[in-house]
Structure 1
Amino acid sequence: RPPRLNHKKSRAGCQRCKARRVKCDEVKPACGGCNRHNVPCVYLKTEASKTASAENSLSPHATISPDQPQPKVAISQSRQRRLLELRLWHNYVTVLATPFHAAAPKTVLIEIWNNHLPHIAMRHDNLLYTIYAFSATNLLRDSPDDMELLTAQRVYLSLALREQRKAVIQFYTQAEEADSLCFTSIMMTMNAFGALQERNRNPYKPPTDMLRLGIGACAVYEEALKGARRFPSSKIVTFVENQPFYVSIPRMFDEEHRGPFLGILGPKNAQGVYEDSELWNLEAREAYECTLSYIGTMYTAVLDGESLHQMCTRIAAFALYVPKKFVDMVEELRPRALVILAHFFSIATKGSAHWWVGQTPMREVQGLRRIVPQEWQRHMRWPL
């Protein structure tokens, strides 16, 4: 393996290139990419003025760096902010939430999403800011160059992560705190998946950022759910107990579920040991097996004709339950990990009727095919 070179990401690129995650040539007043696409080119101000702008208004210059572990953001009250938040809330209630409710199989779930979730969000900023970010992600599908929406998506997600950290400390004190933590974690994974739709795939890189966000969200979700079970009034407990997916979690990683995909792991010798030496490492083998079992439950759900609502629940939860070691191996571009990820996205196409799933799964499968080595291409026939 060639030595890794030290590489420092540019922090001075324009807003549009940052949002698209492409390299910016930083030419001013307009970079090459924005000139080529004939769109407005907006740069961050100097560090001092950028900080002042972030504290004074919600403007393109208030964008928060995703590398910042503890974002310090203060958005002043202004007519601009009130109108933007009203726009995001209106879009969530009228466009995003309603179709989701209609797909829910039980009245109690509709009641939670339609009535309880907005009320919880009004009292808990972690969930409220996540809703704003989720709504901005949706609106960006039709207006990818809207700088106000690009800024809102990034700022409100940063604010949501900050408030989520605060809520972790407080969740033992009341049922609603646990509810806000869990619903925020779920919606963050949906938002992360939805944000994949317009990402740059040339050259193709697996969406490990989305998977890693899910791992962090899962740790919060699991701990909060334990705390929520102490409160009879908890909405997340009602939510979980009324969905087959969550009820089946204890057996989700059983060996029987990965049966259709055992060929990816390869043959075993007479002693029952995999012939491929990569699988002799216990942590790697278990990560592959658990991920394949999860994908196997999704495949079974498709064969059983499970509802669109339940299928999308499984798609969103993949990032929550995939082993960290598997994500590490995807990041290392191990062929077996890439093939397994392609199988997940292939099955995820069954949820394309939901906007945040859309055409992303097939685009990811096609991207993965381009980087899977030739000797592994035979395993890509099924996903394609």
Structure 2
Amino acid sequence: MQAWVTETPGGGDEQSKSLYNETGARRRRAHPKSRNGCQHCKQRRVKCDEVRPACGQCIERKWKCEYPPPEKRAHLSPPPRNDSSESLAIPKTEPETPPTSISDSGSPAAESRNAIHTGVIAYLERTSVPRRKLEPDGPQVRLAVELVDHFLDTTELWVGSSVSQTIIQRHAFPMAFHASYLLHAVLGCAASHLQFLHPGEKKYETAALHHYTRSLQAYSSQLVHDIEHGDGQAMMAASGLLAKLTFINTVAMNADEPLSPRTSPVCWIRSMQGVKVILSTPNLKTQLQTGFLLPILQRYKTPPPMDINMRVDVQDPDSPTSMLARLRDFCAISSLGAADPYTPIITRLAPYILAVPDHDSVDEMMAIVAGVETSFIELLEQCDTRALLILCYWCARLPFIQQWWTGPSARIECRLELGLAKLPA
């Protein structure tokens, strides 16, 4: 039997006696005191690493980390210098509160930018295996700072419409410090874009794959195992970034594969279905309906029905109207109310066949795939010719948006779909 099981107050050897005070009550284990810890650690009376904007305890438990206001701590003496492995390897230049605001110019204020850098580096230190301090001017720190700055400072439209990009750049990092899947998605997008701009730089390729994988793992875990306690805003933001990363990564992996049902687009389409789960979870939907992502959420609404009496224009058989009419005829759709698996997605796709999609259409274009019905996905799994052709129309319209991730992957996917449609059943 283990010694600690048989301990009795006042009995046993000197080591056992030291566990109890003179009254026979068990002594409380001593631990270093933290006067500047966050509110959660103070309430739980546990050691706080005092890292800002979010301490390790709160990040591990997915809590919102809050520190006492400066005025409540003004009378306290400065804490002693901590040279343990828990401390950051770079000077703490961040403000007393997490970064939550961005200046009118669209760039974070200098102090907030420093806080974001410090928070990202602190997170990478805590999650490194084996855990270690990063050199202040080492390659990992320089790359992390570069990814943060690239994500915040890129002004060209590259992660969505003008509306969604402005919102994501403004709010992503304050949310990301409480949601690791969003932090990795942000860094993964920045690394992937830099890889596109500098294809010879191996560091961007490695970082892109690392952060994409970590984001997808954490996001899937939240979605499957703890959806009710998720942050609707952070999950929706992550889903939008992951949709783009999944599209370019999955399609690229299948580019050199021989045509077969295994290379069907079902994998990356299924990965985007998390949006439907988020919007069907009551507390997450409530968060979104009152939050700053509402303008993006509204883009997921089904467009109004189009004219069902369209016919091929014999004078211009290649016109958008003729294209849509031929697609409807091929899928044998007699009316928009018909109970078939093709009508819903063609209804949502029709406006972007009739008009050339642009930057402001990218969110709606991605929403078409994110909201596709299960019955349609099952047809894609079976390499149904009609379903593959509809998706090919979607892929053919996507490059018109002319963002870095839309063209190459869409053209590869379109080739695969056309090839699969010709395979024998």
Q: TM-score if structure 1 supplies the norm length?
A: 0.59
Secondary structure in structure 1 of the residue aligned to 2:273: helix
1:210 partnered with 2:256: no
Counterpart of 2:399 in structure 1 is 349
1:93 partnered with 2:152: yes
In structure 2, relative to structure 1, the CA distance for the partners of 1:265 and 1:166 (3 Å cut) is closer
Secondary structure in structure 1 of the residue aligned to 2:407: coil
Secondary structure in structure 2 of the residue aligned to 1:235: coil
1:228 partnered with 2:228: no
Q: Output one character per residue of 1:213-258: Cα deviation in whole Å (capped at 9) or x when no partner.
A: 011343225536512156x4x11124435xxx34xx1456789599
- Provide the rounded CA distance (Å) in 2 between the counterparts of 1:335 and 1:152: 38
Q: Output one character per residue of 1:22-72: Cα deviation in whole Å (capped at 9) or x when no partner.
A: xxxxxxxxxxxxxxxxxxxxxxxxxxxxxxxxxxxxxxxxxxxxxxxxxxx
Unaligned runs of 5+ in 2: 1-126, 311-323
Counterpart of 2:17 in structure 1 is none
Task: Write the letter of the residue equivalent to 1:218.
Answer: K
Counterpart of 1:338 in structure 2 is 388
Counterpart of 2:69 in structure 1 is none
Counterpart of 1:69 in structure 2 is none
Q: Is the 8 A contact 2:276 2:371 kept in 1?
A: yes
- Provide the rounded CA distance (Å) in 1 between the counterparts of 2:293 and 2:244: 17
In structure 2, relative to structure 1, the CA distance for the partners of 1:144 and 1:212 (3 Å cut) is farther
Name which of 233, 243, 246 aligns with 1:189: 243
Counterpart of 1:82 in structure 2 is 141
Displacement of 1:350 in angstroms is 1.5
1:263 partnered with 2:329: yes
Secondary structure in structure 1 of the residue aligned to 2:405: coil
In structure 2, relative to structure 1, the CA distance for the partners of 1:118 and 1:255 (3 Å cut) is farther
Displacement of 1:189 in angstroms is 0.7
Displacement of 1:335 in angstroms is 1.6
In structure 2, relative to structure 1, the CA distance for the partners of 1:257 and 1:300 (3 Å cut) is farther
Bigger Rg, structure 1 or 2: 2
Q: Is the 8 A contact 1:208 1:330 kept in 2?
A: yes
Displacement of 1:151 in angstroms is 3.7
Name which of 361, 371, 380 aligns with 2:420: 371
Identity within the alignment, % = 15
Q: Output one character per residue of 1:316-375: Cα deviation in whole Å (capped at 9) or x when no partner.
A: 223311123322322322222221111111121211x11111233233223333333289
- Between structures 1 and 2, the one with greater helix share: 1
1:160 partnered with 2:215: yes
Q: Is the 8 A contact 2:191 2:208 kept in 1?
A: yes
* Greater displacement, 118-127 / 321-330: 118-127
Counterpart of 2:372 in structure 1 is 322
Counterpart of 1:57 in structure 2 is none
Secondary structure in structure 1 of the residue aligned to 2:293: helix
* Greater displacement, 160-169 / 356-365: 160-169
Counterpart of 1:40 in structure 2 is none
Q: Is the 8 A contact 1:345 1:364 kept in 2?
A: yes
Give the root-mean-square deviation of aligned CA atoms: 3.7
1:361 partnered with 2:410: yes
Alignment of 1:1-384 (within 5 A): 74-75=128-129, 76-77=131-132, 78-79=134-135, 80-95=139-154, 98-100=155-157, 104=161, 111-142=166-197, 147-165=202-220, 177-195=231-249, 198-202=252-256, 203-204=258-259, 205-223=263-281, 226-229=285-288, 232=290, 234-241=291-298, 245-246=299-300, 249-251=301-303, 256=308, 260=325, 261-266=327-332, 285-286=340-341, 288-302=342-356, 308-351=358-401, 353-373=402-422
Structure with higher RCO (Cα < 8 A, 6+ apart):
1
Query: How many pairs were matched up?
Result: 272
Q: Output one character per residue of 1:84-125: Cα deviation in whole Å (capped at 9) or x when no partner.
A: 322322232233xx212898556xx56523422333234432
In structure 2, relative to structure 1, the CA distance for the partners of 1:366 and 1:226 (3 Å cut) is same
Secondary structure in structure 2 of the residue aligned to 1:266: coil
Counterpart of 1:10 in structure 2 is none
Q: Is the 8 A contact 2:159 2:165 kept in 1?
A: yes
- Provide the rounded CA distance (Å) in 2 between the counterparts of 1:102 and 1:345: 17
Unaligned runs of 5+ in 1: 1-72, 273-278, 377-384
- Provide the rounded CA distance (Å) in 1 between the counterparts of 2:309 and 2:378: 23
